[in-house]
Chain A
Amino acid sequence: MAHKWGMAVDLDRCTGCEACVVACRAENNVPTAGEDQAARERVIHWIRVERYWEGEFPDARLKFRPVLCQQCDAAPCEAVCPTYASYHNQEGLNGQIYNRCIGTRYCANACPYTVRFFNFYNPVWDKPLHLQLNPDVSVREVGIMEKCTFCVQRIKAAEIEAATDKRGLKDGDFTTACAQSCPPKALVFGDLNDPTSEVSRLARSRRATLLLGELGTLPKVSYLEQDSWHSEND
C-alpha cells in the first residue's frame, strides 16, 4: 500500500523552543532574509511556532502551536496554480516543483495557513555560510514559491535505500528534520496508511484536532490539544 505521510503535533508536549524552526532551515537551505527584509515582513520560516496570548495580567496565558504545511488532501493551493507547480503526489504530499513555478503567488493567497513563502530576491549566503547548504535540496531562485515538503529528500532517500535493500520502510526508519530535533517529542512524522505507526496512533487520540479543519482542506497534520490538568488526575 502506498505511503501516506502525515504528522502529529502534540501541543501538550511542545515547549515553544523553536528547535524545529532552526533544524528545518538548516536542512532545507532556507535563505536568511536579513534585518531589512525582515522588517518588510519577508522572512521565510517553513515551520513556525505561533504564539497566542489569552487574557490579561495576572491571568495571562500563552499557547504555542507549530504550524507547517499541512499537506492538505484538498489543497486550495493546488487548485489555483496555473502551471502545476503545486501538485499532489501519490504519497499524499503537496509537492512544489520549483522549476515549474512562475511566481503568480496565487497559491500563497489561497493557502489559509499562510505556510507558503516567496523568494522576493535571489537568496544570498554570505560566504562561507554557503558551505553548509544541503546538497540534497535545491536552492530556489528569485520569483519562486517554497514551503515545507515534509523533508521529501529524506523520504526519497529512505525509500530508495529500502528498495535497494529489498525491505519495506518501518515506522521510525527516518523522520523529518523538525521532528528529529524536537526534544519533548512534540512532532511526530510517519505513515498514516500504517495503522501501527506512531503518527497514526496519535491521529486517533481523543485530543486530536485539525487546524482550520472546517475549511475542508483535509490537512494531514493532527494537532493534539493540551490536556487540562484536572481531567485525569482527580
Chain B
Amino acid sequence: MKSVDQINHDLLRPVVHTSGRFWLVFVILGSVVLAAVGAFAYQFWEGIGVWGINRPVFWAFAITNFVFWIGISHAGTLISAILRLANATWRRPVTRCAEVITVFALMIGGMFPIIHLGRPWLFFWLVPYPSERQIWPQFRSPLAWDFFAIGTYLTGSIIFLLLPIIPDWALVRDKTSGWRHGLYRVVSLGWRGTPRQWHRLETAMHIMAVAIIPVAVSVHTIVSWDFAMAPVPMWHSTIFGPYFVAGAIFSGIAGLILAMAFLRKLLHLEEYLLPIHFDNLGKLLLMMSLLWFYFVFAERLTTWYGNEPAEMAVFWVTQRGSFAPLFWTMVFCNFLIPFPLLAISRIRRTITGVVIASSTVVVGMWLERFLIIVPSLSHKYLPYTYGHYRPTWVEITILVGTFAAIGLLYMLFAKFVPIISIWELKAGGHQKPAARAAEAVSARTSPMGAKELELRPES
C-alpha cells in the first residue's frame, strides 16, 4: 500500500514539475490548434464558401463535430455522477478525468454552433437578452433550445468538476511555495478541511450528482431534436432522443478510456490507473455497444419495413450506395470490432484491448454523426435536388484542431490540477484492486481521515 507521501508525490508531480516533453507536446498541439484557429479565421473572413457544404448539404462537418463533441461530453459527468451515487469505489482515480473530459468536450462542441454560422459575429442574437427592438430568440427553434441545454449542462459540469477539486487545490497550496502557493491559495477558497466544510462539500456534490443526470440526458436529446424536428427523410424519427443519448454515452466512455490511457502513459500513473479500471469501463463500453447496435438495428429495420420512398432513398444510399463504405466502416468500428474485444474478458482485462476498442468506437461514432447528417440532406424529398458533399481543408483542419484542442486543454488542466483526485483516492485507501472489497462498502470518504492526513507535516 502506498504511503500518503508517495501518493502526494506521484499525483502532485505533474503539477509541480514540468518536463521537457511537456513543452514539446504543448508546442505540437498548440500549433495544430493555431492552425485550426487560422482556418476558422479564414472562414470568418471569406465566408462559409471555403467549406465544402453546398445546396442541399447545408450541414456537414461542423454539425458532425458539434454533435460528436457534445456526445463525448456525456460519459464524463454522467459516469462520475452515477458512480458516485452508486458508491463504486473503483471510480476514485477516474472521476476527475471524466469530469474534465465533459467540460472540455462541451466547450469545444459548444463552439460549433458559433463556428458554423453564416454570420458568426452575430451569434449573440441566440442569447435571450432584452434587445432594443424587443426581439427575442425564436423559442420554438431547437437551436434556441440548444443554447439553454448546453449552457445549463456546461454550467452544471463546471460546478460538478470544481467542487471536488477544492480540497486538492488546498493540498497543493500547502505543499508548495512561491507563486504557486499564492495561486493555489486563491483558488482553494480558504479550504481548511473542517467537518462543516466537508459536510457542505459532500452535500453539494450529492445534489449536483443527482441533478446532472437529467440535465445530461436532456442535453443530448435536445441536440438530437435539431434533426428530429425537421421534416427530412430519416431525421424525423422518434428514436432520435434515446438513440443520441445512448450514442453519446457510448462515445463518451470510449473517449474517457482513451484519455485515461494517454494520461496513464504520459504522467506515469501506471500504479493508479489500473487494468481493473479499464476492465470496468470496458464492461460499460460493451454494454453501450450492444445498446447502440440495438438502436441502429431497430431504426433500420423499421425504416426498411415501412418502405417509404423518400426514406428508402436515404436508406439505400447508406447501405449499398455511395455512402456504403463509410456506413460499413462505422458498423465495424462501433460493433464488429469492439464487441469481441470487450466481450472476451481476457482481452478486456488488458488495457491495450480496451484502448483499441475505444479508438474504433471514437472513429465509428464520428462517422455515425456524419452519416446521420449528410446522406439525408443530400437526398431529400425532390430527387431533382439531390447533391453531394466533399470536405475542404478548412473543415478537416478544424476537425483535427478539435482533437488537438482537447489534448491541449487536458494537458494544461493536468498542469494546474492533480488529474487524479488525491483526497478521494486517499480516502478510499489506495490498495490493490483485489483487496478492496470489504473496504469499498465502508470507504465513504472519511472527512476525519483526510484531515488527519493533511495535517501531518510533509517529510
Say whether A138 faces chain B, with CB atoms less than 8 Å apart.
no
Is A103 in contact with B117, judged by CB distance below 8 angstroms? yes
Question: What are 23 A-B interface contacts by the 8 Å CB criterion?
Answer: A40-B54, A52-B384, A67-B382, A80-B140, A82-B147, A83-B135, A101-B118, A103-B117, A104-B116, A104-B117, A106-B230, A108-B58, A110-B229, A110-B230, A110-B232, A112-B381, A118-B55, A120-B53, A142-B46, A142-B118, A143-B119, A212-B382, A217-B231
Is B55 in contact with A103, judged by CB distance below 8 angstroms? no
Interface of A is mostly: loop
Is A79 in contact with B140, judged by CB distance below 8 angstroms? yes
For residue A118, give the distance in angstroms from its CB to the closest CB of chain B. 6
For residue B161, give the distance in angstroms from its CB to the closest CB of chain A. 29
Task: Output the nearest chain B residue to A215 by Cβ-Cβ distance.
Answer: B231
For residue A93, give the distance in angstroms from its CB to the closest CB of chain B. 17
Say whether B197 faces chain A, with CB atoms less than 8 Å apart.
no
Is A51 in contact with B55, judged by CB distance below 8 angstroms? no
Is B56 in contact with A82, judged by CB distance below 8 angstroms? no
Is B384 in contact with A103, judged by CB distance below 8 angstroms? no
Q: Which of B54, B119, B147, B232 contacts A103 (CB 8 A)?
A: B119
- Tell me the complex Cα distance, A76–B388, Å: 23
Contact pattern, A 162-185, Cβ under 8 Å of B = 1, otherwise 0: 000000000000000000000000
Which of B31-39, B121-129, B202-210, B437-445 binds A?
Answer: B121-129
* Known contacts A114-B56, A212-B381; is-contact A120 B230 (Cβ 8 Å): no
Say whether B337 faces chain A, with CB atoms less than 8 Å apart.
no
For residue B137, give the distance in angstroms from its CB to the closest CB of chain A. 5
List B88-135 residues whose CB lies under 8 Å from chain A.
113, 116-120, 122-123, 125-126, 135
* Known contacts A79-B141, A121-B49; is-contact A110 B126 (Cβ 8 Å): no
Q: Which of A101, A114, A142 contacts B385 (CB 8 A)?
A: A114
Q: Which of A80, A114, A120 contacts B49 (CB 8 A)?
A: A120
Is A121 in contact with B47, judged by CB distance below 8 angstroms? yes
Say whether A8 faces chain B, with CB atoms less than 8 Å apart.
no
For residue B225, give the distance in angstroms from its CB to the closest CB of chain A. 10
Say whether B226 faces chain A, with CB atoms less than 8 Å apart.
yes
Is B226 in contact with A106, judged by CB distance below 8 angstroms? yes
Query: Footprint of A on B, CB under 8 Å?
Result: 46-49, 52-56, 58-59, 113, 116-120, 122-123, 125-126, 135, 137-138, 140-144, 147, 226, 229-232, 377, 380-385, 387-388
When distances are taken between beta carbons in the complex, the residues of chain A under 8 Å from B113 are 104
Most buried by A among B147, B377, B384: B384
* Known contacts A120-B48, A121-B49; is-contact A102 B231 (Cβ 8 Å): no
When distances are taken between beta carbons in the complex, the residues of chain A under 8 Å from B385 are 114
For residue A100, give the distance in angstroms from its CB to the closest CB of chain B. 8
Is B54 in contact with A42, judged by CB distance below 8 angstroms? yes
Say whether A59 faces chain B, with CB atoms less than 8 Å apart.
no
- Tell me the complex Cα distance, A110–B226, Å: 10
Say whether A154 faces chain B, with CB atoms less than 8 Å apart.
no
Most buried by B among A79, A109, A212: A109
- Tell me the complex Cα distance, A144–B385, Å: 20
Is A102 in contact with B118, judged by CB distance below 8 angstroms? yes
Task: Output the nearest chain A residue to B385 by Cβ-Cβ distance.
Answer: A114
Most buried by B among A42, A106, A121: A106
- Tell me the complex Cα distance, A112–B314, Å: 14
Is B48 in contact with A82, judged by CB distance below 8 angstroms? no
Say whether A196 faces chain B, with CB atoms less than 8 Å apart.
no
Q: Which of A42, A51, A80, A104 contacts B118 (CB 8 A)?
A: A104
Q: Which of B49, B119, B120, B229 contacts A101 (CB 8 A)?
A: B119
Is B56 in contact with A108, judged by CB distance below 8 angstroms? yes
A-B contact count (CB 8 A): 141
Contact pattern, A 23-47, Cβ under 8 Å of B = 1, otherwise 0: 0000000000000010011110000
Is B48 in contact with A143, judged by CB distance below 8 angstroms? yes
- Tell me the complex Cα distance, A118–B229, Å: 21
Is B118 in contact with A103, judged by CB distance below 8 angstroms? yes
For residue A20, give the distance in angstroms from its CB to the closest CB of chain B. 16
Q: Which of A48, A82, A101 contacts B144 (CB 8 A)?
A: A82
- Tell me the complex Cα distance, A139–B187, Å: 52
Is B58 in contact with A80, judged by CB distance below 8 angstroms? no
- Tell me the complex Cα distance, A42–B58, Å: 10
Across the A-B interface, the 5 shortest Cβ-Cβ residue pairs: A103-B118, A143-B118, A120-B49, A41-B54, A143-B119
- Tell me the complex Cα distance, A145–B119, Å: 11
When distances are taken between beta carbons in the complex, the residues of chain A under 8 Å from B226 are 106
- Tell me the complex Cα distance, A120–B117, Å: 11
Q: Which of A80, A84, A109 contacts B135 (CB 8 A)?
A: A84
For residue A230, give the distance in angstroms from its CB to the closest CB of chain B. 28
For residue B109, give the distance in angstroms from its CB to the closest CB of chain A. 16
For residue B148, give the distance in angstroms from its CB to the closest CB of chain A. 11
Task: Output the nearest chain A residue to B119 by Cβ-Cβ distance.
Answer: A143
List A82-107 residues whose CB lies under 8 Å from chain B.
82-84, 100-106
When distances are taken between beta carbons in the complex, the residues of chain A under 8 Å from B140 are 79-80
- Tell me the complex Cα distance, A51–B384, Å: 7
For residue A123, give the distance in angstroms from its CB to the closest CB of chain B. 10
Is A109 in contact with B381, judged by CB distance below 8 angstroms? no
Is A102 in contact with B123, judged by CB distance below 8 angstroms? yes
For residue A217, give the distance in angstroms from its CB to the closest CB of chain B. 8
For residue A201, give the distance in angstroms from its CB to the closest CB of chain B. 27
Say whether A50 faces chain B, with CB atoms less than 8 Å apart.
yes
Task: Output the nearest chain B residue to A110 by Cβ-Cβ distance.
Answer: B230
* Known contacts A117-B55, A144-B118; is-contact A109 B232 (Cβ 8 Å): yes
Q: Give me 9 other A-B pairs in contact (C-beta within 8 A), A109-B56, A118-B58 excluded.
A: A50-B382, A52-B383, A80-B142, A80-B229, A100-B125, A112-B231, A119-B47, A120-B54, A215-B231
Is A105 in contact with B118, judged by CB distance below 8 angstroms? yes
Is A108 in contact with B55, judged by CB distance below 8 angstroms? yes
Is A82 in contact with B230, judged by CB distance below 8 angstroms? no
- Tell me the complex Cα distance, A121–B118, Å: 9
